[in-house]
């Protein structure tokens, strides 16, 4: 396990207002609308998450749906229902989910925003999130499992970071028996390790389809967002890095 905790920001020249704003919005939604992922926030979570079936069929599922593993609650969503492709990017399934996502966005997003510019970075981030959502929908277009989280958009940020600053030093926390230690590794190793985990996990999800349909992490969204971030990087970059 490699857990990033910081990176080298000496070449950054601007304040990452968009990154800070995205982190704040995600936290506010999780706390005040999702109620920390509790049952009290469940109606909002089910209503504004992306459900592949709703997108591919153009309908809003408002009653519980039975699947082999149990029952999936539903709630009336926005109109038009495709708005959930955007709203789901700012929602999370639990404290660890949002903590991990915001950590990655905080560490890797600022240098991308510095290079792209504030508005261009925001557009890039949202496009990566949409690409990620459609990647997951393509895998299982009839799924009624809600999909939510900023992971796909952040995966796009990682894809751009890999090409912008592959040699930039990233400090990571690694387990050492029962203790932890920190190392500084090139970004290409840290991000490469992450994408390998996504590929392995997606293969496992395909091999165990029945289990995957019962919920879990949308690994295909991570892979799609990462690939989208790489492709969009060449469109959005403004200058060569100064690092």
10 Å Cβ neighbour count for 33? Answer: 14
pTM exceeding the 0.85 threshold for the entire prediction: yes
Peptide bond into 176 cis (omega under 30): no
pLDDT tens digits, residue range 88-109? Answer: 999 999 999 999 999 999 999 9
Tokens found for residue 170: 């990233």
Give the model's confidence band at 200: pLDDT under 50 very low, under 70 low, under 90 confident, else very high.
Answer: confident
Say which residues have a Cβ less than 8 Å from residue 35's Cβ, sequence separation at least 6.
41, 44
Q: Which structural domains are found in the chain, ordered by start? A: 3-236 (1.20.1540.10)
Segment 54-66 mean pLDDT? 95
**In contact, 175 and 191? CB cutoff 8 Å:** no
Residue 218: per-residue pLDDT: 75
* Res 181 pLDDT > 80: yes
pLDDT at 211 over 50: no
Separation CA 183–CA 195 (nearest Å): 19
State residue 176's pLDDT score: 84
User: How does DSSP classify residue 23?
Assistant: H
Residue 238: exposed, middle, or buried by beta-carbon count in 10 A (0-12, 13-18, 19+)?
Answer: exposed
């Amino acid at each position: 396990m490699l857990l990033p905790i910081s990176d080298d920001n000496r070449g950054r020249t601007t304040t990452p207002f968009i990154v800070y704003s995205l982190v704040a919005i995600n936290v506010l939604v999780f706390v005040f609308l999702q109620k920390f992922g509790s049952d009290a926030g469940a109606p909002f979570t089910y209503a504004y998450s992306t459900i592949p079936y709703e997108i591919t069929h153009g309908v809003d599922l408002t009653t519980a749906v039975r699947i082999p593993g149990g029952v999936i609650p539903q709630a009336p969503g926005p109109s038009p229902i495709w708005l959930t492709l955007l709203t789901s990017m700012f929602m999370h399934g639990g404290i660890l989910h949002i903590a991990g996502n915001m950590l990655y966005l905080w560490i890797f997003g600022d240098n991308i925003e510095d290079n792209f510019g504030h508005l261009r970075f925001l557009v890039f981030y949202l496009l990566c999130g949409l690409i990620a959502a459609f990647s997951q929908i393509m895998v299982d277009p009839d799924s009624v499992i809600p999909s939510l989280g900023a992971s796909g958009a952040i995966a796009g940020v990682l894809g751009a970071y890999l090409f912008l600053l592959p040699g930039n030093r990233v400090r990571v926390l690694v387990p050492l028996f029962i203790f932890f230690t920190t190392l500084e590794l090139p970004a290409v190793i840290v991000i490469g390790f992450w994408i390998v985990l996504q590929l392995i996990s997606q293969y496992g999800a395909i091999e165990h389809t029945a289990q995957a349909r019962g919920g879990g992490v949308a690994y295909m969204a991570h892979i799609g967002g990462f690939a989208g971030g790489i492709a969009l990087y060449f469109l959005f970059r403004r200058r060569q890095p100064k690092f």
